[in-house]
């Protein structure tokens, strides 16, 4: 009898097999970390621009504060993933198996909901701690710490769902690093930049490792045929 659950797991795992998804996610983590660092720790760089921005209309404000810093990286990420599917995966990963269309929701919605709940709970804890200690920066720090916890839970859940051991390592190392960095007495923007850099670095290493393993498997398959 066909193992339908096992077939579904292997099909879902295929989307993460080559590491490209980690590289895409790492790009976003690094971009947002850099953006937060500029906002929180480098006010002298953008405050003169803010005075000019207040005199503009709402469309200009939205374009310059949201569309350009967030929309352009989103577009680059989307086009980069499309290019990877067309140029890399069709010629490499899907060369012998044929095209496999990814689900609209790669991460199960239950996992996404649980991870967002964790992030929100840490954020609330940061607000309460900020009120108690009269330190508003703890709110922003809580967002970063909660995001680190969210990432750890999400990658660990994906690892269990699709049987991907490297994601367990990413989740555990990322969680430990988030906890250690949270205790360091550094500026909130720098904290976010270092945390984003560490998570981004973890995902890049994981993605490159998966890419190398896939290349070796493809070579072995080609040599055997």
CA distances for 197 relative to 91, 133, 161, 164, 181, angstroms: 31, 28, 26, 23, 12
Mean model confidence pLDDT for the chain: 79
Phi, psi of 185 (to 5 degrees): -85, 70
Asked if residue 5 has pLDDT above 60, the reply is no
Query: What's the pLDDT at 4?
Result: 46
Average pLDDT score over residue span 179-198:
92
Q: What is the pLDDT of residues 20-31, one digit of tens each?
A: 888 888 988 898
For residue range 73-112, list pLDDT tens digits in order: 777 777 776 777 666 666 666 555 555 555 555 677 788 8
Residue 92 has a CB neighbour count (10 Å cut-off) of 15
pTM above 0.85, yes or no: no
User: How would residue 53 be classed by pLDDT, with cut points 50, 70 and 90?
Assistant: low
Geometric angle at alpha carbon 157, from 121 and 140, rounded to 5°: 30
- Number of Cβ atoms within 10 Å of the Cβ of 118: 19
Q: What does the pLDDT read at residue 62? A: 60
Place of tokens 């108690």: 132
């Amino acid at each position: 009898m066909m193992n339908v659950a096992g077939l579904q797991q292997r099909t879902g795992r295929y989307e993460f097999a080559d590491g490209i998804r980690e590289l895409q996610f790492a790009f976003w983590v690094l971009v947002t970390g850099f953006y937060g660092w500029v906002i929180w720790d480098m006010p002298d760089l953008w405050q003169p621009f803010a005075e000019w921005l207040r005199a503009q209309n709402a469309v200009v404000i939205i374009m310059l504060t949201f569309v350009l810093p967030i929309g352009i990286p989103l577009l680059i990420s989307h086009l980069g993933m499309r290019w990877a599917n067309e140029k890399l995966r069709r010629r490499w990963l899907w060369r012998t198996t044929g095209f496999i269309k990814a689900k609209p929701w790669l991460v199960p919605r239950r996992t996404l909901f649980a991870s967002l709940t964790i992030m929100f709970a840490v954020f609330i804890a940061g607000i309460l701690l900020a009120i108690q200690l009269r330190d508003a920066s703890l709110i922003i720090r809580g967002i970063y710490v909660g995001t680190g916890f969210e990432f750890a839970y999400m990658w660990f859940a994906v690892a269990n769902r699709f049987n991907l051991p490297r994601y367990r390592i990413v989740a555990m190392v990322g969680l430990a690093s988030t906890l250690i960095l949270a205790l360091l007495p550094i500026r909130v923007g720098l904290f976010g930049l270092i945390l984003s850099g560490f998570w981004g670095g973890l995902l890049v290493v994981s993605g490159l490792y998966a890419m190398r393993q896939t290349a070796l498997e493809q070579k072995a398959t080609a040599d055997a045929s």
